[in-house]
């Protein structure tokens, strides 16, 4: 009999992230398709009751928790000890968890301790009576997809955020069984003194955003008047990100400019790059601006649902079947108008 454990850590305020609810959706589906299986939830954080209550009307039959100040922050030693203790208490055979930064670096080690196996970048889980549990996952920066089964247990499945619908199970009152963890002094050797991160409005990569807004090198090129308009470009893009809550992507040409000492958009880094040598983000919609749409770039758009582009050139790469809609227009004018409409709507 499979015991499916949904393993989640808390966000600030003791809540569950959307990625945890996506993993719960996978775990619940698996539970439904595996006759006789059990679904349990394991939560780790300073306090987990609010999170447990928020999904208490769901299909899980039991809730385990590891709580206390030591578990409020991301730290390998304490996270691994907590996850190991919950897996043992639940006697889990299948551990489903969101592929967050925190779990990606912890759960492979826990799988090793428990003599199990782990798969990361999982985007689909299924089960049939004939073949058992199978997963789909990606290799080589999401270029090759594989389907595989494993007999080894426990099997840890790290679900790629954005690849699943979120479980909408309702709230209730959960009875959380607390699991004790004996932390050695070595576990506390690393002290988290604080987190250095960009201010909320400087954070341009938003995996949960409905829209991916991609900027290309055209924003920094000479325009019809023979001059560049960098400050204006910066303002248009920033305003749009703020008003539309979009995630910011970029072509390689634009992010590379900073390395060459040219004038650049100050809030862009290589982390924003989309494409063959960049990221392959997942968003329901994408809007490209001042970017030519060359293959090494657009290959990074494969998981973007609806694609639109703004380019002055009617023969740009997007026009060759890579965008659903191409606006042959000046992106400076289009985005100024879009911002004006969004601002009016938000008033």
Q: Contact residues for ligand FAD (CB under 6 A)?
A: 216-218, 221, 223, 251-254, 273-278, 290-292, 294, 296-297, 300, 310-313, 316, 330-332
Contacts of 271 (CB under 8 A, 6+ apart): 205, 279
Minimum CB distance to ligand FAD, residue 254 (Å): 5
Nearer to ligand FAD, 137 or 292 (CB): 292
Nearer to ligand FAD, 216 or 286 (CB): 216
Nearer to ligand FAD, 206 or 229 (CB): 229
Minimum CB distance to ligand FAD, residue 197 (Å): 25
Nearer to ligand FAD, 169 or 334 (CB): 334
Minimum CB distance to ligand FAD, residue 338 (Å): 13
CB of 221 closer than 8 Å to CB of 233: no
Nearer to ligand FAD, 99 or 335 (CB): 335
Minimum CB distance to ligand FAD, residue 326 (Å): 11
Minimum CB distance to ligand FAD, residue 247 (Å): 15
Nearer to ligand FAD, 208 or 232 (CB): 232
Minimum CB distance to ligand FAD, residue 299 (Å): 8
Minimum CB distance to ligand FAD, residue 301 (Å): 10
Nearer to ligand FAD, 33 or 276 (CB): 276
């Amino acid at each position: 009999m499979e015991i499916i454990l949904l393993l989640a850590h808390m966000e600030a305020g003791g809540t569950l992230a959307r990625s945890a609810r996506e993993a719960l959706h996978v775990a619940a589906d698996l539970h439904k398709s595996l006759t006789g299986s059990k679904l349990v939830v394991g939560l780790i954080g300073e306090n987990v009751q609010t999170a447990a209550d928020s999904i208490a009307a769901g299909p899980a039959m039991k809730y385990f928790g590891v709580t206390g100040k030591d578990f409020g922050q991301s730290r390998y030693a304490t996270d691994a000890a907590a996850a190991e203790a919950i897996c043992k208490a639940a006697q889990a055979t299948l551990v489903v968890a969101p592929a967050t930064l925190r779990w990606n670096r912890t759960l492979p080690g826990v799988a090793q301790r428990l003599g199990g196996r782990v798969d990361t970048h999982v985007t689909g889980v299924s089960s049939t009576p004939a073949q058992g549990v199978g997963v789909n996952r990606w290799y080589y920066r999401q270029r090759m997809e594989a389907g595989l089964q494993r007999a080894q247990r426990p099997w840890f499945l790290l679900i790629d955020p954005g690849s699943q619908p979120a479980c909408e199970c309702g709230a209730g009152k959960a009875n959380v069984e607390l699991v004790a963890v004996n932390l050695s002094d070595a576990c506390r050797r690393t002290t988290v003194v604080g987190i250095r991160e960009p201010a909320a409005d400087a954070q341009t990569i938003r995996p949960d955003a409905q829209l991916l807004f991609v900027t290309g090198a055209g924003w920094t090129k000479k325009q019809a008047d023979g001059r560049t308009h960098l400050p204006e470009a910066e303002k248009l893009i920033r305003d749009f990100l703020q008003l539309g809550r979009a995630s910011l992507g970029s072509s390689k040409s634009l992010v590379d400019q900073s390395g060459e000492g040219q004038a650049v958009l100050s809030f862009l880094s290589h982390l924003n790059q989309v494409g063959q040598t960049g990221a392959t983000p997942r968003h329901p919609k994408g809007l490209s601006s001042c970017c030519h749409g060359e293959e090494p770039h657009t290959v990074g758009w494969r998981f973007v649902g609806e694609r639109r582009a703004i380019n002055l050139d009617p023969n740009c790469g997007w026009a060759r079947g890579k965008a659903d809609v191409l606006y042959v227009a000046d992106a400076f004018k289009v985005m100024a108008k879009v911002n004006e409409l969004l601002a009016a709507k938000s008033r």
